[in-house]
Amino acid sequence: MQRDIPEVVIKRLPIYYRSLQQMAQMGKDVVSSQELAKSAGVTATQVRRDLSYFGEFGKQGKGYSVELLLSELRRILNLDRDWDVVLVGAGSLGRAVTRYPRLEQHGFRIRHVYDHNPNRINTRLNGLVVEDVSLMPEQISREGIRIAIIAVPPSSAQEVADELVRSGIKAILNYAPATIQVPDDVRVYDIDPVAAMQSLTYYLEPYESRRKRKLSSASDRIDITS
């Protein structure tokens, strides 16, 4: 039993879970590590190594029981319960978040939406009333909510994160295009579609091939200006 399970492993578990749910819906009872690997876009060795952090879930050569592996992953990922969530930011991004039905379907219930803009406060967003962000700290701590979604402009992201952490939030899904600093006991998952796109365009003409074409043209050494 290893003590520290790498974050990349934890990030792959929900993908296995998603694949297994699809298999269960299709009536599949047993899955090999090869099949699970293919369906999750990794190698079979990876699947076996990732799962081995949590015990032995299959018999050599016999594969995994889809139902049992699902229930184990549910337990490991703390999905055998619903989770209350607060959303900060009722602009276009926040609105899109409230309209995304899969969060609720998977047990993530948005209990409060906050904004500081008076024009947004008290308006309705997909069944939720936008509340004044000044109410946030007290409501989070009274209701014991531990998960927040940040959907504010990058310039206010850190300030919002600080307030959330002070109120007791331990997990943040961050849609603001800014890196936020949090204490060690708080986890952040960043989603930035622009950064995703910008890593994809790298591969449309990878640096290596471009570099080879212009190898003789110039030195790549760049000095700073000041």
Residues annotated within a binding site? 89-94
CA distance 118 to 115: 8
Report the alpha-carbon distance of residue 70 to residue 152 in Å, rounded. Answer: 35
The C-alpha torsion from 158 through 162 and 168 to 169, rounded to 10°, is: 10
214 binds a copy of itself per the rule CB under 8 A: no
Of 52, 175, 174, give the one whose Cα is nearest residue 16: 52
Nearest distance from residue 216's CB to a copy of itself, in Å?
14
Token pair in block for residue 52: 């081995």
Query: Smallest distance, Å, CB 134 to a copy of itself?
Result: 26
Q: Does 60 bind a copy of itself (CB under 8 A)?
A: no
Q: Taking the complex as a whole, how short is the minimal distance between the CB of residue 225 and a copy of itself, in angstroms?
A: 5
- Distance (Å, rounded) from C-alpha 37 to C-alpha 58? 14
* Site map 111..130 versus a copy of itself, x via CB under 8 A: --------------------
Residue from 23, 47, 79, 121 in contact with a copy of itself (CB under 8 A): 79
Query: Given the rule CB under 8 A, which of 117-125, 137-145, 159-167, 171-179 is the region that contacts a copy of itself?
Result: 171-179
101 is a contact residue toward a copy of itself (CB under 8 A):
yes
CA atoms within 13 A on the CB side of 222: 3
